[in-house]
Amino acid sequence: AQSVTQLDSQVPVFEEAPVELRCNYSSSVSVYLFWYVQYPNQGLQLLLKYLSGSTLVKGINGFEAEFNKSQTSFHLRKPSVHISDTAEYFCAVGRSSDSWGKLQFGAGTQVVVTP
Amino acid sequence: DTGVSQDPRHKITKRGQNVTFRCDPISEHNRLYWYRQTLGQGPEFLTYFQNEAQLEKSRLLSDRFSAERPKGSFSTLEIQRTEQGDSAMYLCASSSGQGKLYEQYFGPGTRLTVT
């Protein structure tokens, strides 16, 4: 069994400040890791993914995340946020042994960027 | 490439009625997923199709739920005898497999309200 925990349900942040969204997972098998963003009344959009290789992955819109196997974490960061980054962010895990890509999502972190 | 589309975007129904949602995936994608998202939670996997074959169903998918993908293109999700607990956002996603198995592209969702 696997689980995904997003440690913060809401993160308020000022414009141009850095932000970090925390994600921890548990799994008995090796996993792939993802961050998705959901803007109001829209579907989810893939921000970035870790499948293998370098543990620091860069995604769209200036986001990056670091896979830490020993701490079973995959925290998302952005050095300077914009108002347009206000959205809900979901961490997701997929088992590398799956042949068809089923994802398990965390509960989400709402990011609210204020001027 | 017009993205994943879902219809309707919103559905309000009375308890006990049947509802059907449609998902049109990206045209060359042979894999299609349905997820359910309730308020304050991340998406939860419901079912998965590879072409027209339904290969996996979650225990969340009770006997009142049925999904089809008759020609391996669009898919429908039907809920019979709706209950208030069925109120949620129903998300559809598709992927092409072939090394991009985990790049799931989501539609905007169908928000169901059962009164």
Burial class of residue B18 (count of CB atoms within 10 Å of its CB; 0-12, 13-18, 19+): exposed
What is the Cα–Cα distance from A82 to B72, expressed in whole angstroms?
41
Placement of tokens 């961050």 in the chain:
A35
pLDDT digit string, tens, across residues A32-67: 899 999 998 788 999 999 988 889 999 999 999 999
DSSP state of B100: B
CA distances from B70 to A17, A57, B1, B54 (A): 49, 38, 22, 10
Q: Which chain B positions have a beta carbon within 8 Å of A32's beta carbon?
A: 102
CB nearest A32 (choices: B50, B95, B102): B102
3-class state of residue B60 by DSSP: coil
3-class state of residue A85 by DSSP: helix
User: In this predicted structure, which of A109-113, B18-22, B24-28 has the lowest mean pLDDT?
Assistant: B24-28
| Residue B33 touches chain A, beta carbons under 8 Å | yes
B33–chain A nearest CA distance, Å: 8
B61–chain A nearest CA distance, Å: 15
pLDDT digit string, tens, across residues A77-111: 999 999 999 999 999 998 877 766 788 999 999 99
